[in-house]
A = this chain, B = another copy of it.
């Protein structure tokens, strides 16, 4: 059954009694006009033969593939896609591409041999362009950027501004501004002692969020109290430990701004164990808006990062760059939003 050979455009042409060129004109609606009659016959022949153009032949002929690579850095080879961050981007990117009949080819880098594979991917013409989502720090980053830049493949970076050195477009967001917004919101609610659980100091986001928190305090004329800043990783356990320390303070905070939702989860667990009421005794704000945040018994107030939107915008930018070689490279910053739920 699979032995039966697929029909080609020649078969269609023969059956329809036209030349192969006309078949192409009909399929592609151009670049030449066709008579109504010819068109009808071709369409009919296509139908009866259940003809589908060969993607490989088209790709070769047109030197284009309708495919965009999604290059991502592999933090945890065991569970890459499980991270809501990459997953969200992937969702937006793939659906945006699918809407315009393009395909997405995910490719993970992180190990040396994958890097060689990436080079091949970039140079083999398998993709028309790429979207990049790398971690913000590891040394691999520059190597990858260098590789992509020198391959000349149109590229858009997600979540990493300032790749301007390589002349690449980017879609990013403003950690500092959002942290400022979240903290200011707490202040407006009347809080005066506001703690911050920070993330991994090895990642830029962590610093941006800390900076926004600090600026909000200073702007409001509140003192910056170092003992109110805890944490140091992105995991719930750090949130829990941080909160325990904070509660043991002589003057505990009445509100906590956690650098991400996982930390906030840990914070909340401890508050519950200690019998504190949320948000009455202690208010909590997270960051990211992971899916679980709204499914909790006590839905989490948090700053939403619209990951899917990042992916969609990246799709638009990269497609534009593919189409118009001379399009200038720009950095888009998507606005972040405070999602008010029940914890603050």
Which A residues lie at the B interface, using CB under 8 A?
1-2, 6, 50, 52-57, 59-60, 63, 65, 67, 77-82, 84, 86-88, 90-91, 94-95, 98, 101, 103-108, 114, 117, 119-121, 123-126, 152, 235-237, 240, 262, 265-266, 269-270, 272-273, 291-292, 295-298, 308, 325
B82 touches A291 (CB 8 A): yes
A98 touches B88 (CB 8 A): no
Tell me the smallest distance from the CB of A343 to a CB of chain B, in Å: 13
A262 partner residues in chain B, CB cutoff 8 A: 295
A57 partner residues in chain B, CB cutoff 8 A: 60
B297 touches A266 (CB 8 A): yes
B108 touches A106 (CB 8 A): no
Decide: A107 near B103, CB < 8 A? Known: A125-B56, A295-B237: yes
What is the interface of chain A mostly: helix, strand, loop, or mixed? helix
Q: Please report the C-alpha to C-alpha distance between residue A6 and residue B53 in the assembled complex, in whole angstroms.
A: 26
Instruction: Please tell me which one of the listed residues B50, B78, B98 contacts residue A308 in the complex, with CB atoms under 8 A apart.
Output: B78
Instruction: Please tell me which one of the listed residues B86, B120, B126, B236 contacts residue A297 in the complex, with CB atoms under 8 A apart.
Output: B236
Task: Name the residue on B nearest A275 (C-beta).
Answer: B275
Instruction: Please tell me which one of the listed residues B60, B77, B107, B121 contacts residue A60 in the complex, with CB atoms under 8 A apart.
Output: B60
Instruction: Please tell me which one of the listed residues B82, B123, B265, B296 contacts residue A87 in the complex, with CB atoms under 8 A apart.
Output: B82
A90 partner residues in chain B, CB cutoff 8 A: 80-81, 106
Q: Please report the C-alpha to C-alpha distance between residue A84 and residue B67 in the assembled complex, in whole angstroms.
A: 26
Q: Please report the C-alpha to C-alpha distance between residue A237 and residue B123 in the assembled complex, in whole angstroms.
A: 50
Task: Name the residue on B nearest A90 (C-beta).
Answer: B81
A152 touches B95 (CB 8 A): no
Tell me the smallest distance from the CB of A244 to a CB of chain B, in Å: 11
